Chain A
Amino acid sequence: MRAVGIIFSNIHDNNVPELARIRTLGSIPFGGRYRLIDFPLSNMVNSGIDTVGIITKSNYQSLMDHVGSGKDWDLARKDGGVIILPPFGDLESSSLYNSRLEALKGITNFLFRADEDYVVMTDCDSICRLDYNEIVEYHIRNRADITLVYKNRVAEAGEDKETTFDLTGNKITSVNYKAKLSGDVPANVFMNVFVLKRSLLLNIVLDSISHNKSHFIADVVAANLKSMNIVGYEHKGFYAGIKSLQAYYESNLALLDPKVKFEVFGDRSVFTKIRDSAPTKYGNSAIVKNSLIADGCVIEGEVENSVIFRNVKVGRGSVVRNSVVMQNTVLGENCTLNCIITDKNVTVTDRKTLSGCSNHPFYIGKGIMI
C-alpha cells in the first residue's frame, strides 16, 4: 500500500462528553465487544495500510490498553505497524494542541519518517466500512490534491454543526464548516476522512506553523478551493455517526437489524482486542429476544432489544429492554432497565427500576452502584 494512516482519537470528544470524560472518543465501547477505533483501524488493515499513527491528546490510557502492541489487528510489525502518538510539548509551549493542524504539527517527525507517498487521515466518530485503497485510487485517478470523503444524508439525532460541501461533478466548490443540518433535506456531509500526498501534507503543516494557521478545513481546504484540485468521494454504504449520546444509543441498537449487522460485521473483518471470556451462559429462566449478547455473560433474567457487552450478569427476574449495557455490569434480581446506557462496571442492586426514554436514554456512569 502506498499510504500511511493517521487516526485522530480525541478530536470529537465533545460529541459524547458523558462517555468521553474518562476516555478518548476512540476508546468508547461499541456494539458489544468493540471500541470505536476498531472501525477505522480495521478499515485500514483491510485496505492494506500497515503503518498507522494514532494521535492522542488526553485520557488515552484506555486507548493504549486497548490497542496495545497492535497484534490483534496484525499491526505489531517490525516495519511499520501501529504507533500511538501522544501530544508533543516543547520547552516554550506547554499547552496541548487545540486543532487538527496543531496536532499534525506535533507529528511532523512521524510524517517525515514514513516512506509511503499518500496519507489517509480519519477520525473515530463514525461506524462505516471504507476501502481506503479505493479512495486513494480515486484520488490518483482524479489528479486530486486533496480528497475528502462525504456522505449524502440528513441530520442525526442531537447533531450539532457539521461541515458540508457543494460539488460540481466531483469537485468541491464551496465549504460550509458550520452548517446546521436539516432533518429532511440531505446534504453532502464531510465524514472527516482525508486523502492527500504525504509531501503536500508536510508542506501544509510547515506552512501553517509559519503562518499560524490552525483550522484545517477553514484555513487549508476552504482557502484553497480555487488553487487546488479538491475533490469529494461519496460513501454510499452504511454509515452511523457518533454525534451525540442519543446517536450513540441509536447506532448500537441499529445493529439489531440483521441487515445492518451484516453490513457492519458480515465478512468478519472488524478486529478488536481479544479478551478471554468464557462463553455466555443462559440460565433456566432466561428469556432473550432481538438482542446482541457478547461472551462471558450470565443471563438469568429477561433481555429484549438490547446490546449486552462482555461479562454482564442479569439476575433472575430482572428485565432489560432497549438498553446498552457495557462490560462488567451486574444487575441483581428483579431489576428493571428501560432505555438505559450503563457504562462499565456498573452495579444495580436488587429490585431497582431505572428508565430513560427512547429519545433520551439515561446514562449511568462508570463504576456507579445503584
Chain B
Amino acid sequence: MIRKKKCIAMLLAGGQGSRLYALTNKIAKPAVSFGGKYRIIDFPLSNCVNSGIDTVGVLTQYQPLVLNDYIGNGQPWDLDRAFGGVHILSPYQGKHSSDWYKGTANAIYQNIHFIKQFDPDYVLVLSGDHIYKMNYSMMLNFHILNDADCTIAAINVPKEEASRFGILNTEENGVIYEFEEKPKKPKSTLASMGIYIFSAKKLYKYLEEDNNDPTSSNDFGKNILPKMLACGEKMMAYEFKGYWKDVGTINSLYEANMDLLGDKPKFDVSDTSWKIQSRSPLAPPQYLGEDAKSVNSIIMSGCEIYGTVENSVLASDVIIGKGAVIKNSIIMSDTTVGEGAKIEYSIIDERINIGKNAIVGEPESSGKGIAVLGSDIKVEEGAFIEGGKIIDKDFNKGGK
C-alpha cells in the first residue's frame, strides 16, 4: 500500500492583521488570544482534527515567533504524527529564487512540494482568522458527491452586511455562476467564508498558471477562483449553517468573545462533542477572594480575583486587585490590575500592569468605542485612558 492522504489542509496564517492594531504589534493574527484560553488558530486546527484531517501545513510569514512556539510539534492537537501532522511552512530561500509570500495563492504555490509528498486527492485551504466550529469532512463529502473541482464554504449574511463580503451567486443546485467582491447591490446574501476545497490536480494546474502570469496578484479570491470559473470548472457553494465570525477587527474580536457569555451563549466552547484543543497553561486553579464578585464571565486558571468581574473574559494568570471593577472587557494572560482600578469596554493584551485606581475605557453608551492596550506596557497609578484609545506604550498620568 502506498502511503497517501485523502485530504490535507493548508492554513494561511501569515496575515499581519493590521486592523487589530496594537494586538498584533508583536504576534501574527492567528496567535491572538481568544475566549480566555484559546488562540484564534485553535479553531481551524481543532476543526481539522475533529474532521479527521491529520495533515496541516501552517503558512506563516508575519511575526511568526509566538505562533511557531505555540504550535510546536502539534502535540496539543494530537498532530504530532510520523506521517502527516502539523508543519510550519515559512518562506524560504530557494536555489533559483527566494521570496516572501506574495499572496495567498503564491504561499501555497511555494509549498506545492509539501503538498505533493502526501499525494492528496483534495486540498483544503483555510484562513487562520475565523472563529467557528465546522466539520470539514461534510464539506468534503459534498465536494466529492457533486464531482466538483472547487467547493467554497459560504454563509448567509444579513442583506445590509452583504456588501462587505465576497458574494457567491449560485444556481439552485449550488453551482456558482458568478463572484462579486464587495458588491454595492448584492444579488445574493451567500458570503464566501474563505474556506476552499480543491481537487488537487486542478489546484496544481491553476497555481502553476497563476505563477506564470506576471500581472496576477497571486490571490485566491482575486485571481485563482475567477480564473477557474472563467475556464468553466465546476465550482460549488457549500452552505454552512452555524456560528462563524471573522475576527479581523477590534470590534468583531470583541463581539466574538462576548458571544461566549450568557446562559445560552451564541457560541459554546465547552461543548464536548466538538472539543476545541489548545496548549494549556500550567497554572493552579483560579482563586476568588473574600470580596470577589464574578458574574456572567469566563475566567481561566491561575487568575486571582479580589475585585469585581462582570460580563468579561479573563485569560490565565490575571490578577484583579481589591476594589477593582472589570466590566464588559477582555483581559489576556499575565496582566495585573491594581486595587481600585476600573476597566470598562476594553481589550487588554498580555503582560500589562495597570496601576492602582487607573481608569481604562468608557461605557459602550459613551459612543467612543473600545479601548485597546497593547502587550507589555505599564499604566501609571490613577491614569485615565479614554474610550476608543489604542495604546501600545507605557502610559502615565499626564496622558503620555
Contact = CB atoms under 8 A, between A and B. Distances in A.
A33 B301 contact: yes
Nearest to B288: A288
B294 interface: yes
B263 interface: yes
Interface in B295-335: 295-302, 304, 309, 313, 315
B270 interface: yes
B292 A289 contact: yes
B315 to A, nearest CB: 8
Contacts of A31: 284-285
A279 B289 CA distance: 18
A254 interface: no
A106 to B, nearest CB: 33
A308 B285 contact: yes
A284 B262 CA distance: 8
B290 A280 contact: no
Interface stretch (B103-111, B178-186, B272-280, B356-364): B272-280
Given A33-B301, A278-B269, A294 B296 contact: no
Contacts of B315: 279
B298 A276 contact: no
A118 to B, nearest CB: 28
B190 to A, nearest CB: 31
B270 A274 contact: no
Contact of B298 (A32, A281, A289): A281
In the complex, which of the residues B282, B284, B294 has the most CB atoms of chain A within 10 Å of its own CB atom? B284
A33 B287 contact: no
Interface string A127-146: 00000000000000000000
Interface stretch (A196-204, A209-217, A265-273): A265-273
B282 A268 contact: yes
A70 interface: no
A22 interface: no
B287 A292 contact: yes
Contacts of A71: 75
Contacts of A293: 285-288, 299
Interface string B37-72: 100000000000000000000000000000000000
Nearest to B309: A282
A296 B313 CA distance: 14
A333 interface: no
Contacts of A271: 282
Interface in A234-279: 256, 258, 261, 264-265, 268, 270-272, 274-279
Contact of A280 (B76, B295, B296, B298): B298
A286 B301 CA distance: 17
A276 B287 contact: no
A279 B298 contact: yes
Nearest to A292: B285
B283 interface: yes
A295 interface: yes
B382 interface: no
Contact of B301 (A288, A295, A298, A307): A295
Contacts of A261: 284, 287
Contacts of B292: 288-289
B166 interface: no
B270 A276 contact: no
B374 interface: no
A61 interface: no
Contact of A276 (B278, B284, B290, B291): B278
A290 interface: yes
B338 interface: no
Contact of A284 (B263, B269, B280): B263
Contacts of A278: 37, 269-270, 276
Contacts of A298: 270
B306 to A, nearest CB: 9
A289 B288 contact: yes
A315 B294 CA distance: 16
Nearest to A72: B282
B307 to A, nearest CB: 13
B35 interface: yes
A30 to B, nearest CB: 11
B36 interface: yes
Contacts of B75: 71
Contact of A286 (B35, B285, B294): B294
Contacts of A270: 284
A268 B283 contact: yes
A298 B298 CA distance: 9
B270 A296 contact: yes
A282 B297 contact: yes
Contacts of B283: 265, 268
B285 A294 contact: yes
Nearest to B304: A258
Given A261-B287, A281-B270, A295 B300 contact: yes
Contacts of A272: 282
B290 A289 contact: yes
B270 A286 contact: no
Contact of A279 (B282, B290, B300): B300
Interface string A291-333: 1111110100000000110000000000000000000000000
Nearest to A307: B285
Contacts of A290: 288-290
B285 A282 contact: no
Given A276-B275, A298-B270, A283 B296 contact: yes
Contacts of B277: 276
Contacts of B284: 31-33, 261, 264-265, 268, 270, 292
Given A265-B283, A280-B300, A284-B296, 5 more contacts: A274-B280, A281-B270, A284-B295, A289-B289, A289-B290
Closest 4 interchain pairs by CB?
Answer: A32-B285, A278-B270, A279-B36, A265-B284
10 contacts: A32-B284, A274-B76, A276-B76, A278-B37, A278-B276, A282-B296, A282-B297, A284-B263, A286-B295, A290-B288
Interface of A: 31-33, 71, 256, 258, 261, 264-265, 268, 270-272, 274-296, 298, 307-308
